[in-house]
Structures are given as structure tokens and as C-alpha cells.
Structure 1
Amino acid sequence: MTEHVHHAAQQRSSRKAPQYPITRTAIAAGAAMLCFASGMAAANGNAVAVAVAAIDPVALAAAEAPAVAAEASGEAQAAVAGTSAAAVVSDGDVVGTMAGAVHIRGKALNGATKAKLRLEEVPGGVSVVSAEQVEKGRVFTSEDVLAFQPGVYAQAAGGTDGIKISIRGSAINRGTNFFRSGTLFLFDGLPVTGPGGTPYELFEPLGLSRTEILRGANAFDQGALMLGGAINYVTRTGHDAAAFEARVEAGSFGYKKVSVSSGQVIGNWDYYVQAIASERDGYQTLSSGESRAFIGNLGYKFGPDVETRFYFRYRKTDNYQPGALTVAQVEQDPRQANPTSVAQDAHRNQPGSRWLANKTLWNIDGDSSLEFGAVIHDYPIDQQLGVNVGSWGFTDLSFSLNYQRRETLFGLRSETKLGALSTSHNNHGWLDTRVRIPSGATAGLPVGTLIRRAEYDGEDHILHAGNDLEIARDLWLTTGVSGVKTKRFTEVVYPVVNEPYARSTTALAPRAGLRYTFPNEVQVFGNVSRSIEPPNSWAFLTTPPAFTTGPATGLSRHGLDLKDQTANTFELGTRGAAYGSNWSLSVYRSYVKNELLSVEVVPATATTAAATAESNATPTIHQGIEAGLESRLWDGGANGTLAARQSFTLNDFYFRGDSRFGRNTLPGIPKRFYQGELSYEHPSGFYGGLSVQAASRIDVDYANSFRTHGYGIVNASFGYEHPTQGWKLFVDLRNLADKHYVSSVSPAYNDAGTDQRRSAPGEGFAVYSGLQYAFK
């Protein structure tokens, strides 16, 4: 079995193990970062190994024995498991499985490092976030998890837990409290996203081992065909959790969060459980909220080749909605709420969403594996906005099947991956609209009267096949094709039954890429791909009261006959490690047709909810730069280390000659977004850092008639982690200058140069602290 190793190890034959410094943070400018990266391909390999080995024990082992690494049996001294395959070290011992640790030269690797090695096989933009790094400070929302990730715009609004997430311009038109679109979200490789999009209430950021981000079509092997790619949140298991861990966070604006967890391995079983409670008064008026969550998984090994794991997530939330403000209101007093939202006492309640899943792995032999997954996801929502109460109910069923095989084809090393992903609404999704305030258009009706019931159905079925082939030494060709079939159905069944709307589409999405790794571990890559995104199942039905074919139906047969959004994307990039630094750089251009854009067509009033409509845009361009750099600036040994990390994203999205808007910029996110941090760590356990976040102006409508102002904020943090006793504490200082700025925009069609309520403020000056204790 020693000759059968994971594909990642095969690809690194006769080369040094990749270098990943333990600590990375940042402060250099974006231009200098790109110049630095461009020169690394010519760097001397031995010098690189020595420089990085000084800060990475894995690289040190490789640098000390290059001849052994080159001549080992099967050319495989570094054997690293993928997500669902065993890892084998040189003595033939199996040391890793679906949830276990892996080793290189006897050195244990955590899940984040293991994932980085595996994702280096993707010829495109990817990144991995270690929970260990995130938990050095406040962990409130996914904004804290996704910080410093190139290409990712993740911003909270007004101190609430609703955030806007956009990757390569996906869901650029969404606000912070919508179902998320344009990106496939997964827990542990299994889908949360369904035909209706992605409800956000289950995304509790504690309890994670790591987060994997695969931008655009680089998420092909996950079954993702959306413009934004995929984000995979990986939960801890008994293999990487403490037997007991407690964490408490508290801070400004009444923020409190408590977590208790436990994980262990007991014979062939392992488990992980976590309970979390949080609440806040909120930065803005009417932004208070609370949540209760439970996370757990249970794994069992039937033998060396078969294992299974059950997952469960539950979370209930109740969040008040402060609503959008004008830019002037944000700059004058960002803590105020939209007067309409105050009059409505607007809030959104998720009475309890559940996600139950199983994943079973069979290592058929040393070269092939089969993995099966199943998910049931139930997510009810009560939304009390305006004159009406909207009660949503969705239950999704998902199934996945993935087969992987390593072999030699025509004398060339090869890995083939075949997969299927199917998700559908079960027994109709539905929306009941009831009277909340007996006034306005519904005057005289008793509170709670049902005035409309709509039903939704949707199915997404994806088959994907891909292959990695080493066509020359260290030059790999990636090819693949996905087939997708989607179904959408919607109708209003009360007060009258209308003619239902139904559609079914099929499409193919091919992909091809190349990657070459130089002897000094510098990699260059490029790919061409196609993405396909169908409309959400609810998008074909207008939001009350803007019924386009009469108040009884609410169905638009003309304006909302939506087409699938498609995009052809070209990407070039590089990544590598040298002289104590890691970098990544991707440049891409997407030609998008029928982009799905949602616009508020009628604003909310004190007695009516806002009306929105989804539509297909004329052709658009999404292009940009995604750059990241992590550097060890100074190593003082017993005196500590100084490190830096930074990310820069250029978002250049615009119409390709629209009849009305010409080449206007697509509104919703800033064109330039930068995050950088300088940090210090001492061997005794003390750490501290200073960070900056800067963004350019954001257009708020498609006419580009009004913009927000750009901003820059400065944060600081420090803490102490005891080297042996399992406890740590931290203090986070956010927005030190109490800058008033817009963090998120819900775009409109044309505001004619006026400052309308489209903006949500970022949080002002705040102090957060936390204490965590764990023992094995």
C-alpha cells in the first residue's frame, strides 16, 4: 500500500514539500505585493527552501533531506490525504481518513494545511481560512471568517448578523438580509444552497475547523456552477477538537456570546457537539437580536476502508431590521434606523432551521474511492415587514455521489473525478402573506387574515466529470464538463388559483485549465470555464403589493419570464512561497449574459412593504484582480516574530453597451477593496496586531447617478494564549477613529442623482473581549 498515495503527493515528486508559515499577517501595499510575486518564479529553489524552512518545520524536514525526497519508493515521501481519501507516510502506515489528521515526514498537519495542499491542484483562485487564526479575536459572523480573502466582499450591516457576500460580483445586487445567491454554500462538502438560494441563519461561525473558498469555476469538483464558486465550511470532529472547551465573548452594544463544546475519539467512534447562545442590543436603533444554535457530528469507522459520519445543525434567530439609510444619514448619525422600519417595528424571525446530513466514504482500493452524501434541510422564516406578515416554509432534499480514481493513462499520471449533485424542494415551498396592520390597502381586515398563498417548486440536478493529466513533468492539464438540468414552478393558490408558471432547462458547462509548478514551488496557472446560474424558485413571483397581473395572482407573465444567467470566464494567475512569504494572484474576465439583477421598484412606506423585481440584464462584464500576500517580516527567535498579511481586490463590473445605461458600472460593491494587518507574536503566548480596511466609493443605482464615499478604518487587537494550559484571552478594538461609513448597498434602478435610502452603515468604534479554555 506504500506505493498508493494521494494525487497531491504524486504531483510533488522530486520537489520540496510546500512551505506554509505558521503565522501570516500584513501591511505592504498592493502594487508592491504584485511586483514581489512576479519575481518569485526566477528565485533559486535551494535558497527558497532554506529561507522558508526557518519558519516551517515541514519545510525544514524537506530541506534537510532533498535526496531522500527525490528517490523515495514511488516518489512519495509526502503523502497527504484529500477530503475523503487516506494518507500514507513512507513507512506505509495509514494516518489519516475522512476526518483525521495527516502527516508529512512524521509531522502532524492540521486540516487547514491539508486542505491547502489539496487545493493547490486547482488551476485557479482558491484559499483556506484556519479557524485557529479567526478565533484569536471576535467571531460574530462570517464577516470575521472571510476577512483578508482576495476576491471576497463580506460585510455586515449596522452590527447585525446579516451580511452581504459577493465573490467576483456574484449577488452584487443583493442586500444583507436576502437569501444569498450566486455562490454554492456547503457544510462539510454537502450543500446548504437549494433552488431558492441560501438562507443565512445556519451560518454560525464558531465550531469550524477551516473554511475553503473556491472562486468561480474553480469550485467545479464541488458541483458548483455559479459565478461566485463555492464556500465550504468544515466542522470540527472528534479528531481535531478538545474534550471540553468553553468560550465567552462580550463587548460594545450589548454583545454577548457563550459557547460550550466537546469532541473525542472513542474506539471506532468519534463525536463533536457544541451549543452556542448569543444576543446583542445592536449598533443601530432596531438592530437587536439573539440566536441559539447546536452543532454536532458523529463518525464511525467500520474498518480501514469504510467510514460514515452524521451531521446536525440547528439554529434559531430573531433579528430586528433597522432598514436602509441615505448616505447623508449614515455620515451624520449611523446609529439611527430607517423611520419606516421603526414604524413597522420590522423584524425577521427564523423559528428554527435544521440541517441533517450523512456522508459515507468507501476507499475501494489504494487508487480509488467512492463517497455518498445525503441532506435534509428545513428552514422556516417569519418576516414582519410593513402591512403584512410573510411566513415562508422550505424543505430541501439533497444527494451527492463522488467517485475518484488515480491511475496511469497512456503512460501519464492521471486522476479522474466523477460526481453528481441533486437538490430539490420537498412538497412545495410556500409563502403565506397575512395582514399585520389593519390599515392602508387592507383596511378593515382582521390582523392575521390570509390574503395570499404562493407555492414554489424547484430542482437542480448536476452531473460533472473532470480529469487531471500530467502531460509533461510538473505540467498538468485539467479538463471537465458539467451537465445541469433545472426545474422551476410557481403559482398563487389563494385567494384564486392562477395559471402556474413552469420551466425546465438543460445546459452544459465545460472547463479546461493548465498549471505548471517550477522547481522552487512557484506555480502558474490558467483556465477557461463556463458558469450557469438559474433564477431562484421564488424570483418568478413579484413581491406584494406590486402585482403585475392583478392582486389575486401576483404573477408576471412578461417581466419575470427569466432566463438562466451564463458566463464565460478566462483566468490567469500564480501562487507560491519564497523568502518567508506566500502569495496568490488571479486575474480574470467574465463575459456574462442574462445577469440576474434584483431591483427595488416600489419603496416601502409605513403601511406597505417594498416591492422588488428580478430581471435579466443586457450583457455585462465582470473582471478583476484578486491578490493576497502573507509574509514573515522579522524572526527574532526568543524575542518573537513580526508578520504581515494583506489582500487586494479589484472589482471592475459594467454593462457592455446597454441601450439605456451604456457602459455604466454595476452598483452594489466597491471597485477597490483592501485589507492589511501587521502582527507580532511572542513565544510566551502574547500576540497583538494593527489592521486597516479601505474601500472605494460604491454606486447605488444602475444609472450611476449617486455614490457613497470611500472610507478607511483602523482596528487593533491583542491577546494571550498560554502555551500549555489551554486557555487564551483577547481584546478587539474595532474602528478606532469611529469612522462613519457605508458598508453595504442595496442597489436601485435609477435614483436620478438623489440620495435615497439604499445604504447600511458599518459599525462604529467598539470594544470586544473574550476568554476561552480547553483541555484534552
Structure 2
Amino acid sequence: MLTRYCRLLPLLLLLQLPLHAQTPDTARAVRLPEATVVGYGQNLPLRRTAAGVSVLDATVIDRFNQTSLTQAVNTLPGVRLEERATASYRLSVRGSTLRSPFGVRNVKLYYNDIPFTEASGSSPLNLLDPASIGRIEVIKGPAGSVYGAGTGGAVLLSTRRPLPGEARVQAGFTAGSFGLRRYSVAAETGSATATLRAQYTRQTLDGYRQNSALRRDVLTLDGEFTPSDKQTVSVHALYTDLDYEIPGSLTRAQFEQNPRQARPTIGTQLGTVDQQAGYASRTALLGVTHDYRFNSRWSNKTTLYTTATTIKTPFLTDLERNTSLGWGGRSVFGYRAALAGRLLRLSAGGEFQNSFEDARNYQNRRGTPGPLRYDDEISTSVGFGFAQADWELPAEFLLTAGASLNGLRYRIARVSDAAARPDSFAFRRNFQPVVSPRLALLKEITPQVSAYASVSSGFSSPSEEEIRPSDGSLNRDLKAERGTSYELGTRGSLFNNRLVFDVALFDFRLKETIVTRTTEAGVNVFFNSGSTRQRGIEAALSGWLWRVWRPSDSPVDDPTFDLPMVARNDEGLRVWASYAYNHFRFRDYQQGDQDYSGNRLTGTAPHTLTAGANVGLWGLYLTPTLSHQAQIPLNDANTVNAAGYWTFATRAGWRRVLGGKLEADVFAGIENATDRRYSLGNDLNAFGQRYFQPAPGRNWYSGVQLGWRW
């Protein structure tokens, strides 16, 4: 055996093949499983999914600092997660940041099959702890018709789950720059018929800027039980106690003078420190999913959930105290049959959400409530039905057709005016049901490579925050966005699965585009801008330059192999890169006497690039990452821009299992290693030229995680 390897070694090095890989047949025997897409309900391989979809799993998330999901999510082409202030996230999928001055809008989020986007249209991503997330799947653009209305896409989040036959307890501690302290404990157990996992995390931070401290406590409980061969029951509970300060935006002069300062007091206009600007909330979420397989043809998955939230938000002029309750459900039926001798997969179902919110706004007197300005009761109902068919055609073609019918209703009553006005202020708005269709065709060129074409239509109603901004006004004339996306793509693997690629070209045409501007009081107001055209290219590549292999316990039917081999997931050298080119323009946009037609789309970068490497050997690992974002326009006139930037980060550590029981991970990392000064999550069309939200300078973190498994 040794003599044979010595003879083959020069050839192996020349071809950069994995050690012990001798023939194409052997390579097929040991190829790692490819990602499976669950978003369309068919659990098809990513290679056989005719849509712009990207997937992150726990191995990718664990390569970055677990205090935030930002770096991991930004490895996906066309997807940008920004942290404007500590725990204040903004998510963009193919340019959807335009209508998200804060929070996550126009992108539908699900948490373990539970609708995580509220009925009002906002998604509180800051409630989640990154360490609890085991998988992220992003469906880009309006292709996610099975998730209802939307032009920005859908994001499916799943928590980590134990492996069958394993049980473990874990504890971890992380410390870092700007007062970072993070504590976590977790316990999990799994069997062939049940899994159970509980995790508690506490994270505190003093913050890079003035008035940017954070405290977040997150408790998650996830269980899955299989009472019989036909059914599975899942229960998911989440409780988050969140409190963070808001530093506010700066002018360019303030940003260049001292990026660590909060928005200062100028004259009679108090700044964020004097007004004790911040956000505090307590949220509880409970969801139950029942998956039933009637027979080999019919199945059903039904999810019911409820949520409750209290919020206190003092800002520059107002102090908001909100209490809300939400509930809803989702049910999907699946059917498999043969049509003209070819497999046909059908799915159909519906989703409904309802919420009630008591929203009270007071004058903000240095962080304490002043006189009541208004008290609103807000009822929101949103629902849709959908259907989709996947038909396996001859010559390895796959035809997909789907559509959803969507409706939304707002009811806002200003009860604080009831005594003075018997006909108290009331606002009702119904967005009539709209059909959003999708059609796609995929061709499997080889068993490893496919290409697809798709056309999809999207409809996105304004969120509650866009209809009712924090200044108490009501936007009666705001219209829903409507858009159509055309997309071509190819994905797969080459060279015996050593190189994995995913390339997509899209042309998205949006009407009644919703944009934002900031008033003198720091209030974001919204209006329709006419139409936009968003064309782009997205590409992701990854490949192993060197791979460590070890003997396998599983037999491989291959007479050319003396001993079956499998790859270690964490040992070797793998390089990867993702790139997006965005040619986003206003097509027809007249604002007063200003014509912005042809201008670049506000807040979107023409180029983004993320690249890195994963190096592992003998339990040691290193994960350097390089990120780039080009210059972006900050106002619709394109007269003010945020400079482009490059940043470098890396994480290194030692991860081993000692004695088959004790798991140890000792790590350290550095972010923004070159101490680049840049702005992230900028305010768009800001009053007083206050566009800039400075990102942290050079910072470090280190920690340890220990676990015991049996």
C-alpha cells in the first residue's frame, strides 16, 4: 500500500486531488452530500432548484464571531446584513434596503417554520442569538411565492438540533473589545424518535460609540417528537429580553472628527445622549408544527403560533411604549402522483396572521415620558393562499409553476382623541388581493451541473411603520410595490466535487418603489418613487485545494479501494469567494421639480465582494476573511456618497474532542484588522446631512467553549 501511494504522490500533487482519491468511481463513492433546499416544500437538492437560493449551515456560521450574524450572512452574494447600531439590523436582498431605514422589511422571515415577520411587516431579527441558528436559507427576489407577497425575498431560519443517539451539555464564555462579555449554556439530547435542546445566552457590550451599550438575554427551547411513523410534532419557544442604546447618525464633519461620538446636542435640539435614546423590549414566541404523512402520496404540515411583545423606545422627540399580541398559522398539503408517466409534485396551502397593538407616544423628556401625544389601537390582518407544481419532464427537465393570492388590512383607531372627538380618528386601509405568479424551467446538464430560467412576480404592501411613522402622521396615499423578476442561473460542482459554483443573472423591474427620507426630528417618512430597474450578477465559488481523509466505518462497494475513506469536514485548505454586481437605477422618478430618473438606486453598492479561506489541521483552524463594498449614494440626487471600503477579519482556534467525551474549542479573533474608518447602515436622504453610522474600528475577541457528550 505504501509503495503504491509513493508512486502516485507526484501525480496527486499535480492534480490537487484528495489523498487516497484514485479513480473517478472512488470520488463518487466518497463525495459529500450537497445542500438541500427546503424552501419550496419538496426538499430537493440545491442543484435541482430553479431559483436564486443561497444556504448557510452551522459550519459556516461557526467560522465567525457569534456575537452577530453579520459576517456569516454577508458571505452570500446579493445579501447584505448591516448593523447600524449595536443589535439594530438592516437586511438587504438584491437592493431591498431602500425601504428599510431600520429593522428588516420587505423580506419575509421564518423561524423553524413559524412566521417570524410580524403581521405589520417588520422582522425583529435582533431577538435571535446567532449561536442558536443552525441553518439559514435565503430565497432571493419575488421567487418565494409559497411565502406570500414580497419583492425582497424570504429567509428561512432553523435552530440547531442534536444528532440521534447523542447527548451533550455545553458552556461558553467570550470577552472582547468595547466591553464585550458573552455567556452561554446549552443542553441537548437526541434519539431515533425525539430530540430536545435548550440554550440560554447573555451578551453585554459597552459599545464602540457613545450611547451604544447592549444587554441581551435569549432563552430557546426546541423539541421534536415522532409519535408514529406517520407524524412528527415540533415545539419551539423563544424568549428575549433586549435593551440597547441608540447613538444616532452623524454629519460627515462629525464622522471625520470623531466617529465614536453619538449624535450631539446642538442648540435646543437635544442629542441622543441627553434624550437617552434606546430600545428595550421583551418578547415571547411559541409555535407548534405537526407534520403528518397520510400515505405515500399525501402529506400535511401545519404550524400554529402566538407571540407577545412589550417595547419602550425613547428617541429624539418621542418616547414610544407599545404592547402587542400576535397569532397565526400556516398549513401546507403535499401530493405526489404521475402525469404522463412523469413524477408530479403538488403543494398548496395558506397562511394567516393577525396582530393587535396598543401604541402610545409621549413627549420624550430625557428618557422619561412627558405628556401623551397620541394613543393608537392598531389591528392588522394578513393572509394568502398559494399553490405550486413541480413536474419532472423528459431529458432531465424540471418545470415549476406556482402562484399566491395575497391580502392585507390595517385598522388604526386614535383612542386618545375619543373624549374630545366622539367620531375619534380612525383609519382603515385594505390592500386588495393580488396574484403573484411564478414559472421556472430547469435543465440538468450533467448529474453535477444544472441551469435554469425563471420569471416571477411580486407584490409588497407597505408595513405598519411605513403607513404610520413615529411622528403620529398617517400615510394615506402610500401604494404597494409591484415587480417582475427575470432570472437565468447555473450551479453545480466540477472536478469530482472539488469546485462548487453558483452564478445567477437577474433583471428586476419594480413599480411604485417605496423610498424613505429622514425629517429634522429624526423621523423616517416614506413615499412612492415611480419605478426602478435592478439588474445584476451574483456568483459564489468554493473549492478544496487540499483535503484530509480518514478511514471510514461505512463500507464502499469499490474493488479498486483497499480501505473506504471519507473526508474530514474541518481539515484541509478550502478557499471561497462571493461577488455581486448591481446595476440598480431609478427609471421614472420625479420628486417635486427634481427629476431623478436614471440615478443610481439610493443606498445600494454596485460591487460587493467577500472572500476567504478555511484552514484546518490537527484540530487547529484559521478562517481569514476579506470584505469589500463599493461607494454608495446616500441621497436620491446622488450628490452625497459613502466611501467604499475593504475590511479584513480572521478567527483562529483549537477544537478537539478529548477522550471521546470532552469537547473543547479555544479561539480568538480580530475584526477590521486595518482599523478602516467607514460607515455601515447609513441613513438615506437624511435631514441636516446626518447620513453616517460609524462602524466599529479594530476590535478583538477571544473565548472558550467546553462540552461533555455521551
Map 1:613-628 onto structure 2 (within 5 A): 613-628=525-540
Map 1:74-153 onto structure 2 (within 5 A): 118-153=45-80
CA contact (8 A) 2:167 2:190 kept: no
Determine the structure 1 residue equivalent to 2:563: none
Between 1:149-158 and 1:282-291, the stretch displaced more is 149-158
Task: Please state whether the residue corresponding to 1:430 is helix, strand or coil.
Answer: strand
Task: Please state whether the residue corresponding to 2:203 is helix, strand or coil.
Answer: strand
Give the letter aligned to residue 204 of structure 2: E
Return the offset for 1:266. Answer: 5.6
Determine the structure 2 residue equivalent to 1:16: none
Return the offset for 1:562. Answer: 1.8
Distance 1:377 1:621 in 2: 37
Between 1:240-249 and 1:405-414, the stretch displaced more is 240-249
**1:328-375 Cα deviation digits (max 9, x unpaired):** 43344221111121221211111x101100000111112332111011
Find the partner of 1:317 among 229, 242, 264.
242
CA contact (8 A) 1:136 1:719 kept: no
**1:495-532 Cα deviation digits (max 9, x unpaired):** 34214233241100110001111224111111000011
1:635–1:302 Cα change, 3 Å: closer
1:447–1:126 Cα change, 3 Å: closer
Distance 1:147 1:52 in 2: 30
CA contact (8 A) 2:530 2:589 kept: yes
Determine the structure 2 residue equivalent to 1:510: 437
Return the offset for 1:566. Answer: 0.9
Return the offset for 1:207. Answer: 1.4
Task: Please state whether the residue corresponding to 1:761 is helix, strand or coil.
Answer: coil
Return the offset for 1:691. Answer: 1.8
Give the letter aligned to residue 388 of structure 1: D
Between 1:194-203 and 1:412-421, the stretch displaced more is 194-203
1:498–1:720 Cα change, 3 Å: same
Find the partner of 2:397 among 472, 475, 483.
475
Task: Please state whether the residue corresponding to 1:214 is helix, strand or coil.
Answer: strand
1:534–1:251 Cα change, 3 Å: same
**1:190-235 Cα deviation digits (max 9, x unpaired):** 21112322123322211122111111233333x1431221111101
Return the offset for 1:286. Answer: 0.8
Determine the structure 1 residue equivalent to 2:562: none
Map 1:522-541 onto structure 2 (within 5 A): 522-541=449-468
Give the letter aligned to residue 368 of structure 1: W
Return the offset for 1:118. Answer: 3.6
Q: Does 1:463 align with 2:385?
A: yes
CA contact (8 A) 1:490 1:541 kept: no
Map 1:597-616 onto structure 2 (within 5 A): 597-600=515-518, 602-604=519-521, 610-616=522-528
Determine the structure 1 residue equivalent to 2:480: 564
Determine the structure 2 residue equivalent to 1:215: 140
Return the offset for 1:743. Answer: 1.5
Task: Please state whether the residue corresponding to 2:142 is helix, strand or coil.
Answer: helix
Between 1:738-747 and 1:389-398, the stretch displaced more is 389-398
Determine the structure 2 residue equivalent to 1:630: 542
1:329–1:449 Cα change, 3 Å: closer
**1:283-328 Cα deviation digits (max 9, x unpaired):** 1111111011100022221111112111100101110001011234
Task: Please state whether the residue corresponding to 2:641 is helix, strand or coil.
Answer: coil
1:153–1:293 Cα change, 3 Å: same
Find the partner of 1:763 among 675, 684, 696.
696
1:369–1:499 Cα change, 3 Å: closer
Give the letter aligned to residue 433 of structure 1: N
Map 1:355-394 onto structure 2 (within 5 A): 355-394=285-324
Unmatched tracts of structure 1, length 5 or more? 1-46, 67-77, 86-97, 99-113, 440-445, 548-553, 605-609
Task: Please state whether the residue corresponding to 2:680 is helix, strand or coil.
Answer: strand
Determine the structure 2 residue equivalent to 1:279: 204
CA contact (8 A) 2:39 2:139 kept: no
Task: Please state whether the residue corresponding to 1:343 is helix, strand or coil.
Answer: coil
CA contact (8 A) 2:145 2:437 kept: no
Return the offset for 1:477. Answer: 0.7
Distance 1:702 1:80 in 2: 40
Give the letter aligned to residue 322 of structure 2: W
Between 1:190-199 and 1:704-713, the stretch displaced more is 190-199
Structure with greater strand percent: 2
CA contact (8 A) 1:138 1:769 kept: no
Distance 2:425 2:243 in 1: 34
Between 1:139-148 and 1:233-242, the stretch displaced more is 233-242
- TM-score (normalizing by structure 2): 0.86
Give the letter aligned to residue 699 of structure 2: A
1:51–1:412 Cα change, 3 Å: farther
Distance 2:586 2:188 in 1: 51
Give the letter aligned to residue 612 of structure 1: N
Distance 1:324 1:174 in 2: 15
**1:377-400 Cα deviation digits (max 9, x unpaired):** 222211011233111222221211
CA contact (8 A) 1:492 1:498 kept: yes
Find the partner of 2:118 among 194, 199, 203.
194
1:713–1:267 Cα change, 3 Å: closer
Give the letter aligned to residue 381 of structure 1: I
1:162–1:54 Cα change, 3 Å: farther
Determine the structure 1 residue equivalent to 2:566: none
Distance 1:397 1:763 in 2: 38
Return the offset for 1:468. Answer: 0.9
Q: Does 1:289 align with 2:214?
A: yes
Determine the structure 2 residue equivalent to 1:706: 640
Distance 2:410 2:105 in 1: 16
- TM-score (normalizing by structure 1): 0.79
Q: Does 1:577 align with 2:493?
A: yes
**1:59-91 Cα deviation digits (max 9, x unpaired):** 97672599xxxxxxxxxxx99998599xxxxxx
CA contact (8 A) 2:571 2:616 kept: yes
Distance 2:141 2:228 in 1: 37
CA contact (8 A) 1:201 1:315 kept: no
Determine the structure 1 residue equivalent to 2:649: 715
Give the letter aligned to residue 392 of structure 2: E
Determine the structure 2 residue equivalent to 1:491: 413
Determine the structure 2 residue equivalent to 1:442: none
Find the partner of 2:619 among 685, 691, 700.
685
CA contact (8 A) 1:387 1:438 kept: no
Give the letter aligned to residue 330 of structure 1: F
CA contact (8 A) 1:173 1:667 kept: no
CA contact (8 A) 1:581 1:631 kept: yes
Distance 1:640 1:385 in 2: 49
Task: Please state whether the residue corresponding to 2:71 is helix, strand or coil.
Answer: helix
Distance 1:527 1:52 in 2: 36
Distance 1:693 1:267 in 2: 42
Determine the structure 1 residue equivalent to 2:681: 744
Distance 1:65 1:308 in 2: 33
CA contact (8 A) 1:173 1:746 kept: no
Distance 2:175 2:460 in 1: 40
Return the offset for 1:581. Answer: 1.0
Sequence identity (%): 21
Distance 2:250 2:30 in 1: 62
Give the letter aligned to residue 196 of structure 2: Y
Distance 2:654 2:182 in 1: 19
Distance 2:490 2:441 in 1: 11
Find the partner of 1:225 among 140, 144, 149.
149
Give the letter aligned to residue 511 of structure 1: R
Find the partner of 1:658 among 589, 602, 605.
589
1:525–1:83 Cα change, 3 Å: closer
1:471–1:520 Cα change, 3 Å: closer
Distance 1:187 1:172 in 2: 24
Give the letter aligned to residue 583 of structure 1: F
Q: Does 1:162 align with 2:74?
A: no
Return the offset for 1:56. Answer: 9.9
Distance 2:25 2:637 in 1: 56
Task: Please state whether the residue corresponding to 2:28 is helix, strand or coil.
Answer: helix
Distance 1:566 1:766 in 2: 42
Find the partner of 2:670 among 729, 733, 751.
733
Return the offset for 1:55. Answer: 9.6
1:354–1:119 Cα change, 3 Å: farther
Unmatched tracts of structure 2, length 5 or more? 1-11, 265-270, 419-423, 551-569
